Structure formats: C-alpha cells, structure tokens
Structure 1
Amino acid sequence: MKWLRKLIFRKPLGNSIFDVKSRLIFVFSVIALTSSSLVFFSFSLYLIFNENTQLERHLRSFESIAKDHFILVKDDFSQLGPYVRAYYSEAALDKELKSLLPYEEGVVTRFRVFSEDGFMVYYAPFVESSGARVPLYLVIGSRDIEFGDDSWNILMLISFGLMAFLIAFLRFSLHRLFDGLMSPVSELCEQLTANKEEDFHVSERSIDEIKALKHHLNTYKQMKERLAKQEMMFAKYASHELKTPIAVVLGAASLQAMKDDPDFQSKQRERILIAANNMQATVEVLLSIVKQENVRDAHQLRPICSQDISLDKYYKKLNAGVQILLSVEPDTQINLPPAVFDMVLKNLLDNAIRFTEQGKIEVVVTSNRIKVIDSGCGLNEEAGTEHGLGLLIVKRLCDSYGWTFSLTENLSEGCCAELNLSC
C-alpha cells in the first residue's frame, strides 16, 4: 500500500499529465472499493430480506410429504425432518399454537419472524380416502434454517476478489487510456507550440474526438490563411477604389491650371466633384464594413424604384452591341443603404461588363433578391480569378446586411450574380 500512502501524503497535485494520472488512479481505487462493497452488501441484504421467503417455500414443500406420512402412521403429530413439525389435529397443537387459532387456510402465517423465537405456520387441511377431513398444521422456526450461512463466505470471496481484480486492472487500463487519449493531446500541444507551417497530425490509434479536433484545427488554420489572403485582396481592392478618383481629382486639377476657358474650367470642376463624391461613397462603405456600423440599421427598409438607379455611367463602359436591361419590382424595399446598394451594383455590373462582349446584361431587383445576368464568357479559371477580386467587397457587404451571395454559370452562356436576403 505504499502507492496509497504516497497519494495521501504527497504535495497537492497540479494539472500535468502525471498529476491527472495519479488522480485517476486514486479515483479508480475508490471506485473499486466502493463497487466491491456495494456488491457485498447488496447480496447480503438480498439474502436477509429473502430468507423468510425461502423458508416459506421450504415449509410448503413438506405438504405432500406430511399427507403421505399421515396415511402411513395415522398419528396426530409427526416430526418431518430436523426442522418441520406436522400436526394433524387441533388437540395436538401446543398451548401457544392453540392460542393463535384460527389460521387462514392455504396461507403461511408468520409470527415474530425477526425474533429468535419466531415461527411460521402453514394450515393446509386435506381429505383422506375415507372421506374424513384432516386438519394439517406445518410449523417451522424462523431461525431454524439460516440460508445465508453457506453463502456468506462465498460473498466475501467474490467481493474481495472483485476488488483485487479491479485495482490490479486499474494500472493497465490507465496506461492504455493515456496512450490513446493524452499522447495525441501532447502531440497537438507540441505542434501548436512549434507553430510550423505543415498541417496538424495525430496517430491513427487516436480516438475519434482527437481526430475531429485535429481536423478542426487544420480547418481553422486554413481559414486563417484564407482570411489573411482575403484581407490582402480587400486592401488591394480598397486601394484601387480610392486611387482611381484621386487620380481623376489630381488630373482635373492639373488641367485647370492649363486653360482659363470657363467651359473647360467648369468641366474639370464637374469631374472633380464626381470623383470626390464617388470616393466619399467608397470610404463610407469601407468604414461601415471595418467598424461594423451597419449592424444598427441592418433591418431598416428603404424603398427603391427604377428612377433611383442610374445606369448612365455604365453605358460608356459597354462593348459595342451590348445593352443593359433594368427591372425593379413595384413596391420594392431593401435594407441596403443607398451608398452600399450603389457599391454592390457597381461591382456586379463592372464584372458583368468586363466579361460580356456581345448580347445583354439584365439587372433584376426585388425586395429579397438582386440579380445581374450577363451573356459573357462564363466562369472559366481566368475569369473566376478576376471575379473573386472584384466581388470580394460584395460578399463582405452581403454578410454585414444579412444577404447571401452566389455566382453561378448560366446553362446557355454567361453567368448570374445573385444576392438573396436571408430569412
């Protein structure tokens, strides 16, 4: 029992694998002792509470023997075996048994069964061959037969044997348990600490939950890398969206210094105002995404109609023979602020125009759906890369305002960019 004393008198345990193992050994030992004791006392209580039932069955089993014995000896009293007495008349009963008359027929009546002088009486009258009715009283003492005496030593051996088996099996079980559970955890901890580029891995003997943890860690790692790439793309897109109007402003300002013509000066000022307004809208959208200020008004609906959507600035970008068709459902209301809606539509149309050389571009707007359908080259690998860069901002805006975004290829030609409001 040296290991038990070490567990009791050692310093407080920490949370290392060795300390957890020591705690488990102690807990398993307590469980083994407790379960063995429960087995022992359960069987003991079962024997105690069922001893009288067994004694009653033993008494009933002498009914046929008593009847056959009476036919042979015709006596009022017989000793059937070392414990059972048979009385064949009320006169033959001793004083105490007479004082308790009458007895219920066919029932074993118990008297003071938990006392040392307790007894049971089984009244089972019968009719002999001559037709005479013979009263039969079978009597046995409550403590004459102790059914538990022969089983007590067996119970003790079973209980102590079970306890010894459980404690002996403990260390082997814990060794297997820690090999299958704690070793993979230690491996994952070392891999996390090392912060290496390769994916996390564990042995094939690991339990399914550890393998699932490894899978999720690899998924989160890939997600982290993907988000980092998306952040770079987002920064690249933001830089592009801001550089273009700034270049327009600088160019127009430089041109203003070249001519004093009022019409020329007015035209350059108009270019500067348009570029500044576009840049302001872009900055508001980008700040709304970064600061997540749009969450407060994500459920505020705003009416929109065909007159609110200006497509003039896109016509000059179209290839020859390509037309834009706009359809807005009556009484349409959406939760996208004007600046956000313009930014979304701008990205969808810019991508559709870039890949559509002939045919048409359809814009469909309803309260819960926005679709831009083009007849361009579809989703090949090269186009997919360009689409991914241009439409990253659209996905960000959709996530912020509760919309889902999908880009699918049409069955005939071209592709369909679709936004759906989540329920």
Structure 2
Amino acid sequence: MIRRLSSTRSLTSRLAYFFVGISVAMGFVTFIVFSVALHWSEDRVGERRILLDKDIAIDRFIAGEEGKIKIDVLTTAYNDVLLLPESYRRYLENEDRFLGEIEFDHYPDSRMVYKGYYTLNGQVKDVVLLSTIDNVEFSLEEVVYSGIIVVFIVSLLMFLFGTLLYRLSIRLIEPLNGIADQLAHQTGNSESAFTISNEAAEEFQVLTQRLNQYRTDLNLALKREQAFARYASHELRTPLTVLKGAGTLLARTEQPEFNQRQITRIKNATNQMSTMVDALLGLVRYERNTEDTPLRIITENELQSIVIDNSSQAMEKDLNIHLVIDALPHVQATQPVMNMIIGNLIRNAIAASAEGEISIHVTDKMIEITDDGPGLNNQPNQDGHGLGLLIVDDLSRRYQWRFRLYNHATRGCVASITF
C-alpha cells in the first residue's frame, strides 16, 4: 500500500485529492470570512446611520419637542435616560457616551444604541437613540444563501483550476510512466530503443536519449564480450585436440618414470583447459537466458570426479583432500561450469597450502572449501590470487550466488559459495 502511494502512477490522484482538500478548506474559510465581513459592514452602516439620525433628533429637541420622538420607522430618540426601557437603561446609566449594538437573549431584535449630549439654554441634556437595525440587516437565511453563492463560485473556480492541474500533471508524469513500462517489459532486450512522445517535457526527451545511448553502448559491450569468448573458445579447441592426441600417443609408448609423470601432468592440464573452454562456451550460450536453464542435482560422482581431476598438485605436496557431503545441492549451472568453479577453488586452496588438509564441505545450500594456508591477512591481495577466483566471482554473480573468501578461526582460508 505504501509503495502504491509513493509511485508516480498515483501521483496525479494524490494531487487531485490534495487539491480537493485545499478547495474544501478554502471554501470553508471563504464562507467564514464572508460572514464576518458582512456582519462587520452591517454594524458600520448602522453606526453611521444612527449618527445621522442623532443630528436630526438634537435639532428637534432644541426646537421644543420633549420626551420620546420618532425620527423614522427605524429610529426612536429620547432626551432623558429615565424614559428608556429598563433593559437598555442599565447599560447606559454609567456610560457618558455609547455607540454600539445591544443584543438580548430574551429579546428577538437587537438595537443599535447611541448615547450623547446636547446643550439647550445653557443646560446639558441627554440624547439617546434606539434603532431597529435588524430590519435592514441580512437575515440568517440571506447570509447563508449569499454565502452559498460565494462558496459555489469559489468551488467552480477551484474545480476549473484543479482540472487544469490534473491534466497538466498527467502530461508531465505519463512520459515517465511510459519509460518505466518500457524498462519493465524490455528486460533482457538490449536492442530495442526507448520511445517517448514529442509533446513530453524537454528533460524527459534528454533522459530518453541518454537511456538509448547507454543501451546501445551496453549492447555493443555484450556483443564484443560474446564474440571474444566465442572465437577464443573455438580457437583453443584445435590446439587442445592436438595436445590430447599427442599425450595419448606418448602414454601408449614405454617411457621413463619421469617422462610418464610429465605426460600425466600434460594430460591433467589439457583436461582442465578443455573443461574451461566448455564452460566458456556454455556461458556464451546461456548468458542471456540463465533463468531458463533447468535445475539439476550435483551428484556425488560429479563432485568426486572434480576433486580427482584437480588434486594432482595436492599429491605432490602430500596434502589430503577430505570431501564431506551432507546433502546434494540443486543448481542451474552445467557440469563444465561447476567443474571450473569448484576446480578453481580447489587449486587455489592447494596453491595456498604447504601442508595439512583441504576440507570440502557440501550441503544443499552451500559449498565450503577450507585450506591450511597462511590466510588472507598474510597475502598481498586480500581477494586471493590468480585468475581463477575472478572467474568464480563472475560466475557466481551470473547465477546469483554468494561467493565469499574469508579467514578461518583456527586454520587458513575459507572459500564458500551459497546457492
């Protein structure tokens, strides 16, 4: 679920939801601001109107009218606070001047109230005006109706802007999704070029061009690697065949013991070289579809044959090779490939050991080869020595195995391959 929310495919939807949320919040805030502004403006209009009525009331009181007078249908004036209704009088008794709206919970209508003074014949008298401001103010229904109109207009504008943003985001993100789809569906195909719409952003155009350039360079590198391995392997087969035939002929004739040992070494080296060539040809053949190679079981006879073929130097050093098989692993690699991998590790362990024992431990998950050499710390190259380990590491990566080379706690070095 988290990955779906963080993908570019859901980005347009998330932008739309975000914009809808912003629109709702802005609509609500707009309604509140509109209502407050409308109420404030109505109060200011009422205050200005009652100040105008105040001048009319003072003129009429000076002209001789007394007590309570009607200015118009909204406003009533008094020249004595005692004439006011009790509910308003208690608000104004302690006020010298007052201008504002007074509301009561038990009284349905609010009143705009003004209290001031005027002078008549040298005598200061009160002047109080009450105005039924609710008769000219917006009712609750009118406020709600006008607020709905404002919110509707704002929502319509936000909808238009949101639609524009959604279409723009699709136009910006869809080219990237198209490239991702092509990457997902063209895995392993290094010759197919990426395509993108001409209307896509310039940055996506540049990205597509660079991806096509990298794919072309990778395709050329793969072809060079395959051609080199193919031609080199085929060219090596002819001299190997000659060496095998010559060795077989020499072995049939009577030879001194020293010559016989040399013939045996030549035969073993030729077999190792032939196995390596077969493995290289197998890699060239299956490197594009290693996942389609069927699983097989490494048999005990195959393991023993690999040990025998690569133990000639161990005999010369009086090294014992101890093979322990707990279980047989399942692998996709062919017999020549496994011969090259395990054989390289055995020969590397023999070369690193002057005496002692080479232990080979086989389970269904891994193969461990332990020697009695000096270990990695006393060698110049911490990754071991020779081309063999580089080949083993490369083959392990191709088959998605884990190859490790580390020091043993009490012995020499351990080379392990985890399937």
TM-score (norm 1): 0.43
TM-score (norm 2): 0.44
